[in-house]
Amino acid sequence: MSSSPFTLYPSPCACIFDLDGVLVDTAKYHYLAWKRLAEELGFYFSKADNERLKGVSRMASLDILLEVGGITNLGDREKSTMADRKNAWYVEYIAKMTPDEILPNALDFLHELKTAGIKIALGSASKNAGMILQRVNITSFFDAVIDGNKITNAKPDPEVFLLGARELGVQPTECIVFEDAAAGIEAAIRAEMKCVGVGDPDILRRADIVIPGFQSFSWDKLLSLMKQDCFAANVARNDDEKQSSSNKQINN
Ligand code: B16
Ligand code: MG
């Protein structure tokens, strides 16, 4: 079998971005709002606990929070009211976001993709994604926006990314996903897309490659990495699930 990904996949022509943790850091605002809810309920919610919420839907996040607080037997209505309270606080925070909060070099990378004629979609679990894109002034980069309002199945289900490919009018195999959460990497794999993990290689070990962020990263660099077979892991993954993550980390 040839090891070149270009013999196995069509050339990539679309990028699908997760939002929180990839283009902006809204996890800190989620944390402030969830912590406030926990305090009202009488327990402390730590930053370490908050890590478990990344990429997870709002209601699933609430279930994790309640589990941390040892709170059981709440009805759907009560849970829904709590989630609404948390979201109201969260929206207060993100309403104040500015373009300065775009993560380093992410804007340059989006510009570069546009110039190269690469289609761009958002694939986020957040129901507030549209507002965040507007606040940081990057809505116009996106040819399709798939967010928590458009999907019924949360990551690791591939729905969000498959819908992104469909709205862009491309095949899933032509897409590269950028994701910071393990559930999102899994969703990309199930969608048969290539995936770039953004963050910790130990958490994102199933990604084809992992980058710490977009600093010193570029579309040309990505294409070059693909030619160097970094993305062959996408094929090898099924053969060798135990492949070390360390050899996939790209230090930009
Ligand atoms: P909302 P992403 C996710 O965004 C966050 O990572 C996750 O912490 C949050 O619970 C989820 O959105 C839902 O957000 O409450 O605004 O609908 O990483 O998928 O862009
Ligand atoms: Mg994320």
Residues 106 and 72 in one domain: no
Residue 120 lies in a domain: yes
Q: Is 103 within 8 Å of 125 (Cβ atoms)?
A: no
Residue 11 in this model has a pLDDT that exceeds 80: no
Cα 225 to ligand 2 centre (Å): 23
Does some domain include residue 9?
no
Q: Are residues 66 and 172 in the same domain?
A: no
Last residue of a domain, one of 61, 77, 94: 94
Residues 61 and 135 in one domain: no
**What CATH number should be reported for the domain holding residue 81?**
1.10.150.240
- Residue 252: pLDDT above 70? no
The verdict on 176 and 196 lying in the same domain is yes
Looking at 94, 120, 153, the residue that finishes a domain is 94
The pLDDT-based confidence of 4 (bands split at 50, 70, 90) is very low
CA distance linking residue 87 with residue 131, whole number of Å? 13
Please name the residue ranges forming H helices in 116-181. Answer: 129-135, 159-168
Asked if 21 contacts 199 with a C-beta cutoff of 8 angstroms, the reply is yes
5 in a structural domain = no
Specify which residues 20 forms β-bridges with.
24
Cα distance between residue 51 and residue 31, in whole Å: 9
What CATH number did the domain enclosing 203 receive?
Answer: 3.40.50.1000
Residue-number span of the structural domain to which 220 is assigned: 14-25+100-251
Q: By the 8 A CB rule, do 15 and 120 touch?
A: yes
Q: Are residues 52 and 136 in the same domain?
A: no
> In degrees, to the nearest 5, what angle opens at C-alpha 204 toward C-alphas 198 and 209?
65
Q: Is the CB of 162 within 6 Å of ligand 1?
A: no
Looking at every residue in the chain, the average pLDDT score rounds to 89
**54 lies in the same domain as 176:** no
Burial of 141 (0-12, 13-18, 19+ CB in 10 A): middle
- Overall domain count for the chain: 2
| b/e sequence 79-105, b meaning 16+ C-beta within 10 Å | eeebbeebbebbeeebeebeeebbbeb
Looking at the fold, whether 18 and 41 belong to one and the same domain comes out as no
For residue 238, tell me if it sits in a domain.
yes
Catalytic choice (18, 49, 180, 208) = 18
pTM of the full structure: 0.88
* Alpha carbon distances (Å) from 139 to 9, 34, 142, 204: 29, 27, 6, 27
Per-residue model confidence as pLDDT tens digits over 125-145:
999 999 999 999 999 999 999
Instruction: Indicate if 79 and 167 belong to the same structural domain.
Output: no
Residue from 26, 91, 102, 127 to probe ligand 1 pocket by mutation (most atoms less than 8 Å from CB)? 26
Helices (H) and strands (E) in the chain, counts: 11, 6
Residue 238 pLDDT grade (very low, low, confident, very high; cuts 50, 70, 90): very low
- Does 84 lie in the same domain as 21? no
Is there a single domain that holds both residue 112 and residue 171?
A: yes
Ligand 1 pocket test: pick from 30, 101, 153 the residue with the most ligand atoms within 8 Å of its Cβ: 30
